[in-house]
Amino acid sequence: MSCVADQPGAEGSPRVLVAGATGFAGALAAQLIWHHPGFELVALTGRSNVGRALQELYPRYRVPLPIEDPAGERAQAIDAAVVAYPHAAAAPTVGALRDRGARVIDLSADFRLGSLATYEAWYGEHPRPDLLEQAVYGLTEMHRERIAGAAIVANPGCYPTAAVLALAPLARAGLIADVVVDAKQGVSGAGRRADEDTTHLSMIGENILPYKVAAHRHTPEIEEQLALLGADVRVQFQAHLVPLDQGELASCYVTPTRPLAAADLQELYRDAYAGEPFVELADAPPGTRDVLATNFCRLFVAADQHTGKVVVLSAIDNLWKGTSSQAVQNLNLMFGREESEGLL
């Protein structure tokens, strides 16, 4: 099997650590960076499975590096780090890594919300509010320039990624009067911890399972991003688990502020995403399988003549564009690499 020396692109490249590499998000980030021609993956840390190679936990990723104790986060000379700890646990680690000069992409919610008050209403006390001003929200297509120079990138939640990409052109044009986002996701979004009420196949198999009615933490994140684009709306957001592993569809139903012709709507989206390497406009409703294991967001938009509403369907892979490959997309930007490098 591969040995450590096999890493492509290791020589002289920026050195990257993945903290929290045993969960789904951290492990995939590690895999993408390991096989990336422009970065060197130098260490993995985790709060469990210390001493085991990552490929013992995830054989198909074939990353031979061992999981080290989180103390190892302080032992390496690194240029960058991806932090994949849960919210609240992430912020102190991000802080410690910043102290050592590393640029950090944080996959948790800790630095996603611009408003400290909103954070604390949804997540409790913030461990490191002093770092908030260093953070840039990492939805690449919305904040590309600021991400390139950021010290901390707050990688978006998977639902906000799909929803904001779906709604941004309408939001920016002041066209959203009211919006419902009905999102469906595979169980990888629920994380690696097995749970008899959600991720157990005997529960989620042959099931469609809505959860967190009127109470999902991604709601304020979506609203804040839409507000930055000029849309001051309250979002009706509802999440559902469905029996698959990776895949997410956000079905968005917008009541526009004024009637929209179909052709104008298509043009609005074509203009908004022209030249984007990872946003596709599809001619037919997108299935999540169309973007499986890719960094693409695939959109379909239609004006419903019968109701006057606009329907936007947005498909991503929640673990890829929704989490770990978007982190790599941002890492590319931060270190001056081609944005799509290692992702096609």
Kindly tell me which of 48 and 75 has the beta carbon lying closer to a copy of itself. 48
Kindly identify the residues of this chain, within the stretch 244-283, that bind a copy of itself according to CB under 8 A: 244-249, 251, 253, 255, 280, 282
We find the least distance from the C-beta atom of residue 139 to a copy of itself, in angstroms, to be 21
* CB-CB contact of 204 with 184 (8 Å): no
Chosen residue from 240, 257, 335, 341 binding a copy of itself by CB under 8 A: 240
5 binds a copy of itself (CB under 8 A): no
The Cα–Cα gap between 157 and 323 comes to 7
Q: What is the DSSP letter of 70?
A: G
| Under rule CB under 8 A, residue 234 binds a copy of itself | yes
User: Which tokens belong to 146?
Assistant: 């600021």
Scanning 82-90, 132-140, 151-159, 306-314 for contacts with a copy of itself by CB under 8 A, the matching segment is 306-314
Under rule CB under 8 A, which residues in 47-66 are in contact with a copy of itself? 59-60
Partnered with residue 210 across adjacent β-strands are 240
Residue with tokens 């096609």: 344
Q: Which of 274, 275, 266, 322 is nearest to 297 (CA)?
A: 322
From 195, 232, 264, 271, residue interacting with a copy of itself (rule: CB under 8 A): 195
CB of 241 to a copy of itself, least distance (A): 8
Residues of span 70-129 touching a copy of itself by CB under 8 A: none
Piece of the chain touching a copy of itself by CB under 8 A; list 98-106, 122-130, 149-157, 191-199:
191-199
Count of residues touching a copy of itself (by CB under 8 A): 75
Residues 6+ apart with CB under 8 A from 190: 198, 199, 241
158 is catalytic: yes
Stretch in the footprint of a copy of itself (CB under 8 A) among 102-110, 115-123, 263-271, 310-318: 310-318
- Which two tokens mark 63? 């990353």
**Helix (H) or strand (E) run with residue 174 in it:** none
300 membership: H or E segment, kind and range: strand 297-303
Stated as kind and residue range, the H or E segment containing 256 is: strand 248-256
Residue 159 lies near a copy of itself (rule: CB under 8 A): no
Q: Considering only residues 37, 86, 101, 210, which one is a binding residue for a copy of itself as defined by CB under 8 A?
A: 210
- Least distance from C-beta 315 to a copy of itself, angstroms? 7
In sequence order, the 6+-apart residues with CB closer than 8 A to the CB of 159 are: 181, 183, 185, 216, 218, 222, 237, 239, 248, 250, 322
Binding to a copy of itself, residues 171-190 (CB under 8 A): 178, 180, 182, 184, 186-188
3-state secondary structure at position 192: coil
